[in-house]
Structure formats: C-alpha cells, structure tokens
Amino acid sequence: MINIDILLERARVLLEQGRNKDAILQLQQALHQDPQNDFALSLMGRCLYNQKKYDEGMGFINQAISIRADEDYYFYLLAFGHYYKDQNLVAQRMLNKAIALNPYAADYFGLSALICIEEVELKDALKKANEGLEIDPENITCLNARATALNKLKQTDAAIETMRAALEQNPENEFTHTTVGWNFLEKGKHKEAAHHFREALRIHPNLESAQSGLKQALKSRIPPYRWLLQYSFWISNKGKNLQWILPLALFVLVRVVIAVLGEDSQLSIAVVSVMAAYLLFVVSSWVINPIANFTLLFNKDGKYALTNSERWSAISAVSALVIGLLMMLIGYIFSSPATVSFTDFIPGLILFSLALPLSNMQFPVSFKTKKGSGFVALILVILGLFSVLMLFIDKEGASFFLVIYFILFIGYNWTGLFRN
Amino acid sequence: MQNESIKSLHEALQYSPDNVPLRLHLAELMLQEKMYPEAAGQFTETLNRSYGNTRAQLGLASCYYHQKKYSAAVIVYEQLRDHLPQDAMVLYIRCLIKENSLQQAAELYQKILVQSPGFKDEEIDQYLRLPSSSATHQDIDEEEEMLSQKYFMEKPRLKFEDVGGMKRVKDEISLKIIDPLKNPALYKAYGKKIGGGILLYGPPGCGKTFIAKATAGEIDAKFINIGLHDILDMWVGNSEKNLHEIFELARKNAPCVLFFDEVDAIGASRSDLRQSAMRHVINQFLAELDGVQTNNEGVLILAATNAPWSVDAAFRRPGRFDRIIFVEPPDAAAREEILQSLLKEKPTESIDTKKVAEQLNDFSGADIKALIDLAIEDKLREAMSLGTIQPITTKDLLKAGRTQKPTTLEWFASARNYALYANESGLYDEILRYLKIKK
Ligand SMILES: Nc1ncnc2c1ncn2[C@@H]1O[C@H](COP(=O)(O)OP(=O)(O)O)[C@@H](O)[C@H]1O
Ligand SMILES: [Mg+2]
C-alpha cells in the first residue's frame, strides 16, 4: 500500500499541472485509506472545480470543513464555488469567515473585491482591494480588482497607474492583461483592448474571458457596435437589474401617462416617442450583433473567434437583410410610380424582418432546442418564408398567414425585451 | 468416479433446476474435468439464476481462458477486478498478455509481486520480466535485474505492421532513429551525427505509446516505458527512481528504446514555488539527454505528450527532441486498418470494415478499441442468455459507434487555441493544417 502522504503529494503536483483526472485517481486511493483526510477532500474539491463540477466540488469542501472547521482556506475554497455559481451573497459570507480565521491572506480580500465589482458595489470593492494590497502590495488579484473598480468609478488615472503597476509586477500574467483589456474596452479603446487580449491569449490560449474580450474588441471596430457595447457597460454599471427593469418601467410609465392625460396630450406623445425610440434601439441592437459578427468573418483572427452557431446566425441574418432590401428595391424600380403601393414591398419587408429571429437562433437548426424562444424563432422563420411564397401564388390566402406572422413577430420581440 | 458424480448431479438438477449451490458444484466439477464448454454452460446457467455470483463468474472466466477466448475472459475479470484471488489474477494476466495489453498486465503483476514477492510464473515472466540471466551472461547482475523490474523493461513483440495507419510517423521514426541505428558506419562515414530524440504529440488515444512500443518491437530492441508516475515520483519525495539510473539501464541494454510518456510532466508546473526542485529534475534530464557523461549510442529516445505547450522549451533544442511529430487521429483508411487489427482474433461475421470506418470520423484508436469492447459486451450478454457464441456483425459495430463518442474533439478544442494564439515558432502548424485553418 502506498503511503498516503505520497499519494497526496502526487495529487497536489498533478493538480498543479492541470491533470485533474490523474489527480482524482490518486485522491480516491488516499480517501480509500483515510476517508476523513480533510486535505485530500479539499484537493478533490479543487480538482472538481477545475472540471467545472462546482456542486460536487463544494460537497467535498464542505466535508473537509466538517472535519476541520478552523481552516480558513477551506472557507475561501467554498466561497470560490459559490462565486462561480453566482451565489455572491453566500460567497461573501464564506469569505468573511475565512478572513475572520486568518486576516492576513490578500487573496481573500481580492476575491471579495471581485464579487463586490460583480454586484456593482464599487466603493466596497475598492476598499477590499486596498485592504488586500496593504497585506501584500504585489497581489495580482487585488491589483486587478482595484484597477477595475477605479475604472468603473471613472478614476481613470488611478486605474491606469494600478494597471501599470500590475503589469510591471508580472508582464506575463494573463489575468492582468485580460483585466487591462476589459478596462480599455470599457473606455472605448478597442485597439488597445485587442492588444492586451491577444497578449493574454498568447500566454494562456484557453482563457475564456480573454477570448470573449478579443471578440468584443474586434467587433467594436464597427461604430454602431461600439456604441452598443458602451451602452451595455453603462447599464450593467447601473446595477444588476436595470436591464430588466427599464423596459418594464417605461411600459408602465406609458400606460400611466396615457391613462391620466389621455392619448393626445403632449407629454403622452413625448413618452410614447421615448418608448418607441427605446424599442427601436433595443430591436436594432439585436441585429447589430450578427452584423458585427458578419464583419468578423473577414478578419484574420475574428474568423476563428466565432462559434459555428454564431457564424451561421450572422450569415443567415445578413442574407435576410440584404435580400429583403434588394427585393424592396426591385419592387420599387419595376412598378410604375403611379401604381406603386405598400403591398409591393411586403415580401421584401418580411424577409428583412426575418433577420431578427435568425440572429437569435441556434445553428445547426433543430426542433429539439431547449430554449423556448429558439423554437418560436424557428417557427417564425418558416412561417415568414411560407407567407412570402404564398404572396406569389395566392395573394388572398397569403393574408391569413401574414397576420399570424405579424402577431407572432410582435409577441416574439416584445418578450425579447425581457429575455436576456 | 468423477464422471459418476457429474452424472448424478446432472440428474439431481433436473428436479431442482434452481438449486444454485448444486449447479455451481456441478460446474466446478466439470471445470476440473476439463469439460470447458459444458462447464461454461453451467456457469452461465448459474449466473442466469443468481446474477453477479462471483464464484460462477470466476469459473466462467476460467472456462473462457481454457477455451482461448481471452477477450471474453478479460471482460469478466475486469468486472471482478478488485476481488480477484491470486490464481484468477494469474489467469487474468495471461489473458491480458495474449490480448497484447502488456502495460495493464504488468501493473497487475506488480500487485501480485507486492503481495507475494517470491511469486513466479514462467509464462508471465517470459513477457513481463526480462531474464537478465541469459546463457551468455553468467554473472547475474542482481541490481540490474531489480531495476529492469522496477521500470518494467520488456521486449515487445509488437511490430509496425500491427499499428494501423500512421505512415508518416513510421517513416519519420525509421529515417531519424532506426536507420542510423542499423547503419552506424554509413552515418559516421558522412560525418552525420547520430542522436537526438523524437517527441510525439497529439490527442490522447491515437497511438503515441503504441507506436513507441512497436518501434522497439520493429528493431527487436528492449523497451523501457517511463510513465507519468515514474516522472512524478522523481520529485515527490520517495525518489529512489532517478533519472541517471534509468538512462544507465537503457545504455546497458542497448539496443533499447527509452520512452518517456507524458514527458510534459517533467517541469510542467504552473506554480513558481517549486521551481528549484523542478529545475533540478529538468537539468538532470537534459544532461542525460545530451549524454554528457556517457554515450547514448544504441539508445533510441522517444517521448510523447498530449500537451506539447507544457513541454519545457529547452527540450526542443537541437540534439535533444529535435524532431517533433504530430500524431493525428486516424483517417478512414487507417481506421479500417485499426478495426481489422483489433478484430483479428475475435468471432466475427464478414464485417464491412470500410463502412464502419467511414462512420467513425474523429475517433481515436483508443475510441475504436472502446467501441469494439462495447459491442463485445453486448454480444457477451446475448451469448450468456442464448448459451451460444454470437459472432460480431457490422450492425453491432455501427450501433456501438453511435453510442461511443469520439474523445479527440475535446483535445482539438483546446489545441486549436494554442495553434491560433501561441504559435510563435510555427510549432503547431500541423494542428492548423489538420483543422484546415489558414493563417
Ligand atoms: N494506429 C493504431 N493502430 C492500432 N491500435 C491503435 C492505434 N492507435 C491506438 N490504438 C489502440 O489504442 C490504444 C491507446 O493508444 P495509446 O498509444 O495509448 O494512445 P496515446 O499514447 O496516443 O494516448 C492502444 O493501446 C491501441 O490498442
Ligand atoms: Mg499514451
């Protein structure tokens, strides 16, 4: 039988090398010998975290804690699990316990600061990061958290200073480059952002936050997308729920104002126009994304940053837009000015509108999609194409499908306001 | 005498067919009497009535062994893996040897040796322990014997022809290390330096370890396989295993293929904390590779890794692992070869290997092996309930192919990003080519 210390040391090294499966095998042997070995349990938890099995991992960490309740690091690990599961409140509570047991670990403050940033408690985040940096002025997590908090608090100079310090500390740290990239992106400097994301990916090609950052930076080269991104940064800095509350609040406002003042008052008209502008903005933002993705197809790096689904969604949505526009144009050119009527544009308009459901669809297309909205989108596309076809065969019969399409289309987009 | 009791037991069972102990007794008697097919039938019957009965399973496996149905026996033993008595273990190991699963066999053998150090079994020893006391060597070098056991030195029978596909890899290995070994004079005449190793990389299960072993078999050389655990133990405290002693063993046994599996483990640590301990192992490894103190002549050095990006850059300098070969998943033709070689000694019925191979895009050699195991398990269950051997058909394999998913995709998902973002010296061009990405 192999000595348990050797098993644990092997597991530790394997875990460090990222060989989670091999580490787990060693740990299973160790736990077979001593099921109550809290160190083995905690290592097991970390392996499972690395495999993104957070619930299972937390199970092991909890077991370790039940054996040794005075080990601060275990609470830190537990906090990590909750953080990944977006249970930020519990995560903070666990971190407080860890800090109470050991107030001298800078990493605990760093994680706490990152969670505060996610909760848009920026002042708290800054405070935590600074506390951590008092313990260890070179702590990378705290430096990154501080830079991000300062950036979001619009203290740009201090943020840049912190980022420079972090990069000087360790120019080969992928997390620092990623943070710097996101901070630049938030400032609208997409070129600088792309540079740092590339650096991060050179060091750690599979770092997801750097991958998505690079994608955003490349898409930001088209101005409408850049504005959209600025808007989404702005709204997410205003608080977690605003994105969801804003359309609802606007809607209620419109109803109230109309009910009180009647449809014709000036204020009503103003409020309705704001609502309409907002709707137009949101709806167009849905189309801007596939268009931006489409431009990536012609970019050396961008081409490979897209997933297959995004690629096909972009191609089909842009095709719908272009073909729809062309059809409307042709309809206009070939009908004599005297007889031109709205109905000549309907087929083109429908194809044009299909860009919306297409940009939200998963590819390859499947009827067994898990998302309900994906299913409706698919139905919309089929119905739309079908009614266009009908328009050329049997104009009278087509109107029935057109009405259904129209109702479904409105419903689909209205609920879309609350979907993401 | 025995026949008498078999007969009477048989009769007794007519009256109480559900009497499990009675039937077991009968089956075991039959086994003693070498009536293997009959015994197998009775064991199967027993299992039908008492599912999972260990004694019956052991008996059945033993029947399979004597009937030379090794793969069937292996499957049964595998299920009982942790509860095998020593005699069953011996049979299991022999089956594994017949199935050419030498590494697994060696691992189990080591287990037996740990429990009873004096254990000997000629048939097994022939394959797994290399008798260093051949006729010419009168003086037995005990220490060397011990070492060769520790590192499982073996003499593989595997040849290049047993490895499906991989033509390019075979050519490279021949050119770079086999030819120089066979014609050293020629190379010397032209002043061409011999030496340096080959680093194989690629997704798991695509035959890196397999071809390393076949390289040894191909040139009738010995094979030393240094695996993840040996490497790990070099810097995990109990490091009796030391690099110098490994290279010495290889040199003494030249011609010899010295293979480092998962070589990235030497030094692939993310934390800087252990840098010094690690550096030490890396430096020692490099020194041995360069053959500073001694000559590495006659020692072919191969290494393999699934994570070439974690391999210390110093390993790739000229004279070290200066040939780096991408071992890609088998193409359709290679998959067909692999299927054929894996199905060679199994009961089959005119299998359309081409059709099956075409269905197995992205499958690794190991995936194909797993798929065949899956099909066999199904057949075995069928055979147990029907009482006769059912041949494997094309349909069975296609069905298994739909259940078994290829494992190489996960590797490529990660490797792709290295090739896209960290391909500074063109190291991963072959990955890009394979993925049809133009940069
Ligand atoms: N080209 C091949 N021909 C025959 N069998 C293969 C081939 N490639 C893989 N296999 C089978 O798959 C098993 C696993 O392959 P292995 O060499 O261990 O993969 P790797 O070392 O690349 O991870 C081998 O033992 C062998 O049975
Ligand atoms: Mg291998």
B355-402 pLDDT, tens digit each: 999 999 999 999 999 999 888 888 888 887 887 778 888 998 999 989
Domains B2-154 and B332-405 share a fold: no
- The better pLDDT of the pair A107, B193 is held by A107
The model carries a pTM of: 0.74
Put simply, the answer to whether A304 touches B228 (Cβ < 8 Å) is no
Query: Which residues from chain B sit within 8 angstroms of residue A306, using beta carbons?
Result: none
Put simply, the answer to whether B270 touches A19 (Cβ < 8 Å) is no
- For the segment B166-174, the average pLDDT, to the nearest whole number, is 91
Closest Cβ–Cβ partner in B233, B265, B420 for A205: B420
What is the per-residue burial (b if ≥16 Cβ within 10 Å, else e) of A195-228? bbbbbbbbbbbbbeebbebbbbbbbbbbeebbeb
The residue whose CB lies within 8 Å of the most ligand 1 atoms, and thus the one to mutate among B206, B260, B339, B360, is B206
Asked if the model's pLDDT at residue B238 lies above 70, the reply is no
What is the ipTM metric for this complex?
A: 0.80
A195 inside 8 A of chain B by CB: no
State whether residue B211 is helix, strand or coil: helix
- For the segment A46-53, the average pLDDT, to the nearest whole number, is 95
Question: Which atom of ligand 1 is nearest to B101's Cα?
Answer: 25
CA B162 to chain centre: 13
Put simply, the answer to whether B229 touches A10 (Cβ < 8 Å) is yes
How does pLDDT run across A60-80, given as a tens digit for each residue? 999 999 999 999 999 999 999
Residues with CB under 5 A from ligand 2 (ion): B 209
Strand B256-260 to B222-226 pairing: parallel
Tell me what the pLDDT averaged over chain B comes to.
83
- The better pLDDT of the pair B290, A194 is held by A194
Are the beta carbons of A95 and A112 closer than 8 angstroms? Answer: yes
- Touching B: A residues 250-289, CB under 8 Å: none
Greatest mean pLDDT among A398-402, B42-46, B81-85 lies in B42-46
- For the segment A409-413, the average pLDDT, to the nearest whole number, is 84
Q: Delimit the domains of chain B by residue range.
A: 2-154, 160-326, 332-405
Please give the C-alpha separations between residue B31 and each of B15, B36, B58, B71, B387, in angstroms, as whole numbers: 22, 6, 11, 19, 17
Task: Round to whole Å and give the CA distance between B19 and B143.
Answer: 55
| Segment (H or E) for A381 | helix A372-393
How does pLDDT run across B2-11, given as a tens digit for each residue? 677 788 888 8
How does pLDDT run across A21-34, given as a tens digit for each residue? 999 999 999 999 99
CATH 1.25.40.10 describes domain B2-154: yes
Asked if the model's pLDDT at residue B271 lies above 60, the reply is no
B332-405 topology per CATH: Helicase, Ruva Protein; domain 3 (1.10.8)
B292 to chain A nearest CA, in Å?
A: 29
pLDDT computed for residue B240 by the predictor: 44
A10 to chain B nearest CA, in Å?
A: 6
Ligand 1 centroid, distance to B206 Cα (angstroms): 5
A307 to chain B nearest CA, in Å?
A: 11
- B195 phi-psi bin (left φ>0, alpha ψ -120 to 50, beta other): left
Task: Round to whole Å and give the CA distance between A147 and B199.
Answer: 43
Asked if the model's pLDDT at residue A366 lies above 60, the reply is yes
Task: Round to whole Å and give the CA distance between A163 and B275.
Answer: 27
- The better pLDDT of the pair B239, B397 is held by B397
Asked if the model's pLDDT at residue B273 lies above 70, the reply is no
Please give the C-alpha separations between residue B240 and each of B146, B150, B222, B232, B289, in angstroms, as whole numbers: 12, 10, 22, 12, 20
State whether residue B305 is helix, strand or coil: strand
The residue whose CB lies within 8 Å of the most ligand 1 atoms, and thus the one to mutate among B98, B170, B210, B226, is B210
Exposed/middle/buried for residue B368 (C-beta within 10 Å: 0-12, 13-18, 19+): buried
Establish, for the pair of chains A and B, how many residue pairs have beta carbons separated by less than 8 Å.
Answer: 58
- For the segment B427-431, the average pLDDT, to the nearest whole number, is 92
How does pLDDT run across B121-153, given as a tens digit for each residue? 777 877 776 443 343 444 446 666 776 776 778
Omega prior to A337 cis, within 30 of 0: no
- The CATH architecture to which B160-326 belongs is 3-Layer(aba) Sandwich (3.40)
Could you give the percent of chain B with pLDDT greater than 70? 88
Asked if the model's pLDDT at residue A1 lies above 90, the reply is no
pLDDT computed for residue B267 by the predictor: 66
**Minimum Cα–Cα distance from B418: chain A residue:** A205
Task: Round to whole Å and give the CA distance between A210 and A193.
Answer: 10
A6 inside 8 A of chain B by CB: yes
Task: Round to whole Å and give the CA distance between A138 and B377.
Answer: 57
Q: Provide residues with CB under 6 Å of ligand 1.
A: B 163-166, 204-210, 304, 330, 338, 341, 365-366, 369
Are the beta carbons of A37 and A4 closer than 8 angstroms? Answer: yes
Q: Domains in chain A, ordered, with CATH? A: 4-221 (1.25.40.10), 307-419 (no CATH)
Query: Which residues from chain B sit within 8 angstroms of residue A26, using beta carbons?
Result: none
- What value, to the nearest 5°, has the Cα angle with vertex A322 and ends A321 and A325? 85
Asked if the model's pLDDT at residue B278 lies above 70, the reply is no
pLDDT computed for residue A339 by the predictor: 67
In angstroms, how far is the first alpha carbon of chain A from the final one? Answer: 54
- For the segment A215-241, the average pLDDT, to the nearest whole number, is 86
Strand B256-260 to B321-326 pairing: unpaired
State whether residue B309 is helix, strand or coil: helix
Asked if the model's pLDDT at residue A44 lies above 90, the reply is yes
Strand B222-226 to B321-326 pairing: unpaired
| Segment (H or E) for A101 | helix A88-101
Ligand 2 centroid, distance to B235 Cα (angstroms): 21
- Touching B: A residues 204-223, CB under 8 Å: 205-206, 211
Are the beta carbons of B119 and B113 closer than 8 angstroms? Answer: yes
